[in-house]
Chain A
Amino acid sequence: MEIFRAEKITKKFINHIALDNVDVSVNKGSIFGLLGPNGAGKTTFIRIINQIIAPDSGNLFYDGASLRLHNTKDFGYLPEERGLYKKMKVGEQSLYLAQLKGLSKAEAIKKLKYWFEKFEITSWWDKKAEELSKGMQQKVQFIITVLHEPKLLIFDEPFSGFDPINTNLIKQEILNLKQNGTTIIISTHNMSSVEELCDDILLINQAKNILSGSISDIRKAYKTNTYEISFSGQVNMLEATLRYQYEILNHTTEHDKHHVTIKILDDSLTTNQLISSLIPLGNIISFNEKIPGMSDIFIQVVEKTNNLDSNK
């Protein structure tokens, strides 16, 4: 079920277009990845979702109705450019920011206590923010973002500034939130976490939507019919057998092991047919389809649109 939708969002600044007819649909309870190279318009789009700036044209819908200002209390936003009041005590400012989101003081204190204990940072309550390291501040900011139990969370580069241990902690929390039914939009350059977390993505380049859909569909669409096969023992007649419908992209030998990368050129051929033609050649140890990673797809798609653009 759809919880958030953006239709034909366009935003122009005086000298450039930040967003050009971008459509998005986010399903309830899913994790949505917003991807794109630097300067593609992601942050502008996120600010539009948070109603910090307004689009020049286009419509936004939340939970079946037009997006309104009062919806922001259902949103939690962790901006890329984030910080805390340096001279203010951590507890005090967490309380202030929670109250700005509409929590009562008592509620805010209760929830802050829960999260501070969960993250084992209770001792920071009376410290000034400037006494904390960047990673520590990030933890506090994460708590502030999720504290009021928003239905839609928007994270802009949530993992920057975290060490691997804390990155995992935050990832785990994000998955927990998803499990509790929260919808999450993540903008990140970290493609491995996109693969790990996201259900659907939107890839923006030069203000335009260049790729969107579910991760599995996209990866399927970008697969190249390439397989990695390992044999043991003697492999005879490999080239001769696979001459016409196949292309051998790579062949390495390691002792008596052979690793071969094969691309099926004829779309009508199934993997079973490939395997049956390989069986006589030797002893197959493994057979894997080579599925492209999000990182490869990202680079491929972005470079393609950039080239198209420069060819124009």
Chain B
Amino acid sequence: MNKILLIIKREYLTRVKKKSFVIMTILGPLLMAGLIIGPALLTQVEDTELKTIVIVDSSHIMKNVIPNTKYLRFIHTADADLNKIKKDFKNSEFYAVLYIPHVVLSYPGVQLYSNKQPNIDIIMHISNSLEKEIERLKLKKEGVDENMLKSIKTSVNVKTIKWTDEGKEKESHTGFTMVVGIVSGILIYFFIFMYGAQVMRGVIEEKISRIVEIIVSSVKPFQLMLGKIIGVAMVGLTQFFLWIILTLIIVTAIQSAIFPDTKTLMPTKSNHSQTLVKTENTGTLDESTKIGDKDIKEFKQAFNNIDMIDLWVMVGSFLFYFVGGYLLYASLFAAIGSAVDSEADTQQFMMPVTIPLILSIILLQNIIMYPEGSLAFWFSIIPLTSPVVMMVRIPFGVPYWQITLSAVILILSFIGSTWMAAKIYRTGILMYGKKVNYKELWKWLRYRN
């Protein structure tokens, strides 16, 4: 036991002290923080140039309909000569010319002329403003009361409520839990791949440096293999832990540095301009703020309403499948590493090991769509795919017997695979210069220790 600890310690320390580990640990959170902050940051970076757009309004009904914004100024002309303005455009200071034809009410369509490509904000601003006005005019023409229309506008909110096995009713939050499930599934996938491969490389390194026979004269090959698998797992857990902490620190730091006055990272500018538009048409303001509040409230609810028990089930099963899946694959990777003389020779054995893992990622979409379908069921029971697939399914609610079955099978399989890998490993590490195939591996499995 003491010897396994020594091995774990060495495997852990040599990897953690490596430059590549330190670099990855720092780079990872920067990338993640970039992904989180980047989009929010980009919406902050906007076109601050003041643009003047001249409106040629042949319909004569669109005066003061399009409001000015911080960076957009509209000059309304009713009867200007469009062709002349177009001709003089080069010498003018205008950004664009908006032509509103006189038939705009019956054939809603306008033209925006410019020698630049107007951005989507400008286009949306114009179309929103005009749509509102045309709708208003049409309603008026048909004699429909605007307030009445507002009162009949309905939005139906479908809440999904699940009965638990005890007959309790529980609100489920498909959107939120789906994300949690997918993220944990993908994390498990990456963890297995990255650190499983590290185990394999470690085994190959010991084999080609020829130190392995010196080591197995003091410890059992099984101890060496297990120590390596556990040591590398701890390196992985350390890295993930540091990533989470560092990402949180970086995000918080950048958030307080760049958005000191806002509390959320939601893009704020578009909301802002929308509100501006809506102040023009009194009455809509209340509604829009209400909707915004409702969104936030629902999101918060989704967060808070996750039962503590549910949360622990999530965290518990994540850790279980995280570790279980890793152990299953790492022992297979160790066996592969022991059978070859260099990393280049691993290809033929890697294929059957990586295919189930990749398959489980490919199937994700289908499993999210039909979390209780037979495909989802079987792939969450088969141990080679269950760590990823079951993690994605669990947020949708999986019967306990299925989780238990899948967990028991996973435990049995990693015990089995470790046992099998150990047999291949202890023969493989002492076998040099031999081209190994599956037939050979099968023989090794049958050797007496």
Same complex: yes
Q: Which residues of chain A have a CB within 8 Å of any CB of chain B?
A: 13-14, 47, 50, 52-54, 56, 69, 72-73, 75, 77-79, 81-88, 96-97, 99-102, 141, 144-145
From residue 185 to 219 of chain B, which have CB atoms closer than 8 A to chain A?
A: 205-206, 209-211, 213-219
Minimal Cβ-Cβ distance residue in A for B220: A69
Q: Which of B7, B214, B220, B446 contacts A79 (CB 8 A)?
A: B214
**Given contact pairs A72-B218, A79-B217, A97-B218, A85 touches B430 in the complex (Cβ within 8 A):** no
By size class, the interface of chain B is: 20 to 34
- Minimum Cβ distance to chain A for residue B441 (Å): 12
Once the chains bind, are B10 and A84 in contact (CB under 8 Å)? Answer: no
Once the chains bind, are B210 and A52 in contact (CB under 8 Å)? Answer: no
Q: How far is the CA of A240 from the CA of B65 in the complex (A)?
A: 143
Q: Which of A77, A83, A99, A102 contacts B217 (CB 8 A)?
A: A77
Once the chains bind, are B430 and A52 in contact (CB under 8 Å)? Answer: yes
- Minimum Cβ distance to chain A for residue B132 (Å): 69
Once the chains bind, are B449 and A53 in contact (CB under 8 Å)? Answer: yes
- Minimum Cβ distance to chain A for residue B206 (Å): 8
Q: Which residues of chain B have a CB within 8 Å of any CB of chain A?
A: 3, 6-7, 10, 14, 205-206, 209-211, 213-221, 426, 430, 432, 443, 446-449
- Minimum Cβ distance to chain A for residue B448 (Å): 5
Number of A-B contacts (CB under 8 A): 70
A-B pairs with lowest CB-CB distance, top 4: A83-B210, A77-B217, A79-B213, A83-B209
Q: How far is the CA of A54 from the CA of B220 in the complex (A)?
A: 12
Minimal Cβ-Cβ distance residue in A for B442: A14
**Given contact pairs A52-B430, A96-B10, A99-B6, A144 touches B216 in the complex (Cβ within 8 A):** no
Q: A69-B220, A87-B14 are in contact. List 16 more A-B contacts (CB 8 A).
A: A14-B446, A52-B213, A52-B216, A52-B430, A53-B426, A56-B448, A79-B213, A79-B214, A81-B213, A82-B210, A85-B206, A85-B209, A100-B218, A100-B219, A101-B218, A102-B218
- Minimum Cβ distance to chain B for residue A267 (Å): 49
Q: Which of B7, B214, B449 contacts A82 (CB 8 A)?
A: B214
Once the chains bind, are A88 and B6 in contact (CB under 8 Å)? Answer: no
Residues of B within 8 A of A52 (CB): 213, 216-217, 221, 426, 430
Name which of A56, A81, A87, A100 has the most chain B CB atoms within 10 A of its CB: A100
Q: How far is the CA of A72 from the CA of B216 in the complex (A)?
A: 10
Minimal Cβ-Cβ distance residue in A for B446: A14
Residues of A within 8 A of B215 (CB): 97, 100
Residues of B within 8 A of A87 (CB): 14
Once the chains bind, are A100 and B3 in contact (CB under 8 Å)? Answer: yes
Residues of B within 8 A of A47 (CB): 430
Residues of A within 8 A of B218 (CB): 72-73, 97, 100-102
Q: How far is the CA of A69 from the CA of B6 in the complex (A)?
A: 18
